[in-house]
């Protein structure tokens, strides 16, 4: 596709600055966020309609303590029960929710906690998302690793003992096209047993192609399911097209991916409605594709460069705990990932009863794993990170901390035959 939105933010021209100002102040200068752009595949699916109907009709203030008590007493959590567990009325019941979540987690996952690490291989981006550190107008150090550098980063990570990697890029087809991601997948398969992708959404056949090259699963953040709010946050670029992003996981499953992961960035909009929509997105796809592995991530908005427009403290830890426990009770078979955005204290606690996967040895920068893992200075310019992390524990420390809690850290449980 034409690289029509990319701007090198280090050298903004007066024209680029003027366009940025128009996008921010004049909604009529933006494209329709509900209309597909050329080259974007449209699929026939009823999942979006079902999710949005439930989200728009959700009045969480109507639920009472009696509704929450009934939800916790039911052996099987219904959709109505889940709505009650997400409501403000459930906040006093978080400890009981954690106990129930712990029972469900133990029943379906035992005492295991899976470990992985992300690898950012490029931070060029063609989108203007006002809350993101990678957005095309931010003045950051941009970098795209060569394939030789990609392999070196993977060697450093693999030497630490890690067996699962999540490959990430900024959302730029022009700088990180599918063929580049393909080669990264092939390299990753040499060093890791599980390979995930968190890239810009692509079409079904492109997902099929990347799966054949070694990718096992795909993660896509919808960011917010509130389409009106989404429009005010994503001002230009392919990411602006809300419905194309929504259907990304279903296209990935149709393309043969073994698993898909979902998330809203909690704090961008009404977090209770976003949490409901995220879970129902999984719920409905789980019924259409029962063979697929599905998981939920639970990130809160973190501070990023030049971010003076979003309050990252909208969702507090107790509310995040409530959401995660509600997810587990409603979707007992679904994996739940808690990222390094959260503190070590919070992650140590949440894996005891609800979360099943955490990242370790994390860097959101480009090309800095050798310096981070070994202390050896890496030659050349490194690319800036997407956001600040809170938990920077290495794989060894994370592994030991999990084991000390009586849990079983797992690096991989797949065998390819």
pLDDT tens digit string along 54-76?
999 999 999 999 999 999 999 99
Q: Is the pLDDT of residue 306 over 70?
A: no
Residue that wins the pLDDT comparison between 160 and 136: 160
Helix (H, G, I), strand (E, B) or coil at 109: helix
pLDDT at 414: 73
For residue 52, the cross-strand partners are none
Pairing mode of beta strands 259-264, 194-198: unpaired
pLDDT tens across 245-303, in order?
Answer: 999 999 999 999 999 999 999 989 999 999 999 999 999 999 999 999 999 999 987 65
pLDDT of residue 178: 97
Residue 379 has pLDDT above 80, yes or no: no
Say which residue, 19 or 156, is predicted with more confidence. 156
Determine the pLDDT at residue 282.
98
How far apart are alpha carbons 155 and 388 in whole angstroms? Answer: 24
Q: How many CB atoms lie within 10 A of CB 217?
A: 25
Residue 50: pLDDT over 60: yes
State the pLDDT at residue 416.
67
Give the burial class of 388: count Cβ atoms within 10 A of its Cβ; 0-12 exposed, 13-18 middle, 19 or more buried: middle
Helices and strands in the chain: count of H runs, count of E runs:
16, 11
pLDDT band of residue 15 (cuts 50, 70, 90) is confident
pLDDT over threshold 50, residue 29: yes
Q: What is the pTM of this model?
A: 0.92
**Contact, 281 vs 47, CB < 8 A?**
yes
pLDDT(137) > 90: no
Q: Is the pLDDT of residue 87 over 80?
A: yes
Which architecture, in CATH terms, is 9-410? Alpha-Beta Barrel (3.20)
Q: What is the mean pLDDT of the chain?
A: 90
* Residue 314 confidence (pLDDT) above 90: no
Which of 141-155, 199-213, 336-350, 371-385 is least confident? 371-385
276, 55 Cβ separation under 8 angstroms: yes
Q: CB atoms < 10 A from the CB of 311, how many?
A: 9
CA 417/CA 248 separation, integer angstroms: 29
Rounded CA-CA distance 67/374 in Å is 53
Of 109, 108, 79, 110, which Cα lies nearest the Cα of 326? 79
Is the pLDDT assigned to residue 385 strictly greater than 70?
Answer: no
């Amino acid at each position: 596709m034409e690289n029509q939105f990319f701007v090198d933010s280090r050298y903004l021209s007066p024209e680029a600055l003027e366009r940025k100002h128009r996008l921010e102040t004049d909604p009529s200068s933006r494209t329709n966020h509900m209309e597909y752009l050329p080259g974007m595949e449209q699929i026939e699916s009823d999942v979006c309609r079902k999710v949005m109907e439930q989200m728009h009709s959700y009045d969480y203030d109507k639920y009472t303590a009696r509704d929450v008590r009934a939800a916790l007493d039911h052996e099987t959590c219904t959709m109505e029960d889940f709505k009650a567990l997400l409501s403000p009325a459930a906040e006093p019941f978080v400890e009981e929710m954690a106990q129930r979540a712990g029972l469900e987690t133990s029943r379906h996952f035992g005492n295991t906690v899976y470990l992985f690490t992300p690898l950012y291989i490029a931070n060029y981006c063609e989108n203007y998302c006002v809350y993101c550190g990678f957005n095309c107008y931010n003045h950051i150090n941009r970098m795209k690793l060569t394939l030789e550098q990609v392999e070196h980063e993977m060697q450093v990570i693999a030497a630490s003992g890690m067996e699962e990697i999540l490959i990430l890029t900024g959302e730029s087809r022009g700088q990180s096209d599918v063929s580049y991601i393909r080669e990264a997948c092939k390299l990753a398969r040499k060093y890791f047993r599980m390979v995930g992708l968190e890239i810009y959404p692509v079409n079904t056949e492109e997902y099929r192609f990347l799966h054949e090259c070694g990718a096992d699963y795909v993660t896509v953040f919808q960011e917010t399911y509130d389409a009106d709010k989404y429009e005010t946050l994503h001002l230009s670029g392919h990411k602006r097209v809300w419905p194309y992003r929504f259907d990304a996981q279903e296209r990935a499953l149709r393309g043969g991916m073994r698993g898909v992961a979902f998330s809203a960035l909690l704090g961008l909009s009404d977090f209770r409605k976003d949490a409901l929509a995220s879970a129902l997105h999984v719920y409905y796809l789980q019924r259409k594709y029962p063979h697929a592995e599905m998981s939920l991530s639970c990130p809160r908005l973190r501070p990023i460069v030049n971010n003076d427009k979003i309050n990252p403290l909208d969702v507090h830890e107790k509310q995040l705990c409530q959401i995660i426990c509600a997810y587990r009770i409603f979707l007992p078979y679904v994996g739940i990932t808690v990222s390094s955005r959260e503190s070590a204290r919070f992650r140590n606690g949440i894996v005891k009863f609800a979360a099943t996967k955490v990242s370790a040895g994390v860097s959101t920068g480009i090309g800095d794993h050798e310096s981070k893992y070994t202390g050896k200075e890496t030659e050349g310019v490194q690319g800036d990170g997407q956001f600040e992390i809170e938990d920077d524990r290495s794989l060894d420390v994370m592994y030991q901390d999990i084991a000390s809690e009586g849990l079983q850290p797992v690096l991989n449980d797949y065998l390819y035959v």
